[in-house]
Amino acid sequence: MTATTDGSTGATLPPRAAAASTTDNRIPEAAGVQEAAVRATRRATDFLLAKQDAEGWWKGDLETNVTMDAEDLLLRQFLGILDEETTKAAALFIRGEQREDGTWASFYGGPGELSTTIEAYVALRLAGDAPDAPHMVKAAEWVRARGGIAAARVFTRIWLALFGWWKWEDLPELPPELIWFPTWMPLNIYDFGCWARQTIVPLTIVSAKRPVRPAPFPLDELHTDPADPHPYRPLAPAATWDGAFQRLDKALHAFRKVAPRRMRRAAMNAAARWIIERQENDGCWGGIQPPAVYSVIALYLLGYDLEHPVMRAGLESLDRFAVWREDGARMIEACQSPVWDTCLATIALADAGVPADHPQLVKAADWMLGEQIVRPGDWSVKRPGLPPGGWAFEFHNDNYPDIDDTAEVVLALRRVRHHDPERVEKAIGRGVRWNLGMQSKNGAWGAFDVDNTSPFPNRLPFCDFGEVIDPPSADVTAHVVEMLAAEGLTHDPRTRRGIEWLLAEQEADGSWFGRWGVNYVYGTGSVVPALVAAGLPASHPAIRRAVSWLESVQNDDGGWGEDLRSYRYVREWSGKGASTASQTGWALMALLAAGEKESKAVERGVRWLADTQREDGSWDEPYFTGTGFPWDFSINYHLYRQVFPLTALGRYVYGEPAVTRPKTGGGARLAEAKAS
């Protein structure tokens, strides 16, 4: 990234933070907590300001797991474009992620994961690693001990089927005729969350075509019994949902044999049009890697050659997901998060005392204003009359703005004193109006769509990995409520419904579930500041229960942490894990909002952040504290370790968030009038 300053040789200290400047970056043990917090805030501010790109945005690496890298190599092998440099660099990264027991995990410190290990193993075979090499033998033995390829998830077996390592007949059927299902019909494509929808549509073409490329080597060593690699799986009882959908899948397999060819060809062409219409300006699909990969394969199978503009742009977009490291390794990001990172960085810096008219904050606001989406996307299927106005997560994703980013961008823009306030007010008005229009019928908000809560998609045999629907969540709803409160809409009936929903969703122990961050610490860290911003007193029973829970799960070292296992083993892992900078930031943000600045818990948390800060003002955080799918797909946002501790420290040092309230006739009233 390009370091940006305001014209000096380094990031200039704002006046409010200047008093903290010292020639010694070390924080003495004897320093008081307030002094330590001020120094840590100054150092973190300098670090973050220096990371801004010249165009005004911030973006940290988005680290997931090695399936992204393995599937990238498999795609290139399938298309015949795998080159030595890419293979060598990807293999270097994949080998570096292997654990002592020979496995690969889906998150740092997590258990070995079968499908991840299989895909990593196959990728290393493509790179030339011999099956009798010690690290490969370890991996293969572990895979066989856990059921082999037959026990892997469907997506892994699809990749293997592309090369004849698995039989297409033993995979769930995905008919392309699905593209024609009307929106009132169960299992239409808009019943799926946007990420699943963008993946399933191209996969219907792949499923219909069933391509097989010559396998470059056998994979007998990954089967429990190479003579019988496709063991029989008994059906669940017909009276159960699983049994019913398994029998539906058998019926679809039978339909495949009799489906009229012209109808199937027409369905695949309709799916192809759907895919091409949703290709973004940068060539990607939805700003995320998996739909782009499957879309390229699907179009290739329909005869689009690699030099076709759609294909060329798609492949070029995939190259932009690559992060080349200093050691020559190449990591693939599943997605990129510049809008999310930029709005969070802006909030953190403003709350840490950077003046509202600081040139770098103004530049960030300019960039965010230019990213607002003003054309309809797939969300308009459910809200056809709602004018656009949201923000997406990525550089290019006009089809899928999301409610969470939109709420946080509005909160960020409110912290900046911009030279064109009318432009800001109009943008905020559009964003607030769009978010209000995306409220689900239960009063809460999902991430991308309205009322995306069908019970059927998750039942499909195909959907054995991660969430495929987008129901409302506490963290997204909290961010919207906090934004609406900042816009003066606390007493709007729609805001009140969101508050009521949040209060009803509180867990018995006082926490809230975190859908997009790990986990109960994230949910609670999101909800408490929102409820307080919306007028709930710190003495409210819900706030007191949340405070008690956070204090009860604070680690002995003073920080907070929560392992991803809490998504699977709630009772044992809720609020438990090694302390991390981002999760400590979330907990402190909640406690400070609840009026607990003078508490021992806050003092210990602030001290932990100050003591663990590195000399350059950053924090180290190998743990994954973000989620794509709870438990199944985890994310280490490399900027989380910076923005959330700085936000918490800034609020500790300077008090309430530095939100500029809307003026008469501003964004809130405009939004209120147009959304009514």
Give the catalytic positions in this structure. 404
Provide Rg for the chain, Cα atoms: 25
Q: Residue 587 burial (CB < 10 Å; 0-12/13-18/19+)?
A: buried
Q: In the beta sheet, which residues pair with residue 627?
A: 634
Task: Please provide residue 391's backbone torsions phi and psi, each rounded to the nearest 5 degrees.
Answer: -125, 145
Task: Please provide residue 633's backbone torsions phi and psi, each rounded to the nearest 5 degrees.
Answer: -140, 110
Encoded amino acid at 327, one letter: D
Query: By three-state DSSP, how is residue 111 classified?
Result: coil
The number of beta carbons lying within 10 Å of the beta carbon of residue 94 is 25
Cα–Cα distance, 171 to 401 (Å, whole number): 33
Cα–Cα distance, 487 to 266 (Å, whole number): 49
For residue 93, CA distances in Å to 326, 397, 635, 637 come to 11, 28, 17, 18
Cα–Cα distance, 419 to 362 (Å, whole number): 8
Contact in structure between 516 and 467 (CB atoms under 8 Å): no
Contact in structure between 616 and 47 (CB atoms under 8 Å): yes
Cα–Cα distance, 660 to 360 (Å, whole number): 17
H helices of 97-193, in order, are: 114-126, 134-145, 154-161
Non-local (6+) Cβ contacts of 299 within 8 A are: 202, 272, 275, 276, 308, 310, 311, 314
Cα–Cα distance, 196 to 406 (Å, whole number): 21
H helices of 169-240, in order, are: 194-209
> 3-state SS of the chain: helix, strand, coil percent to 5?
50, 5, 45
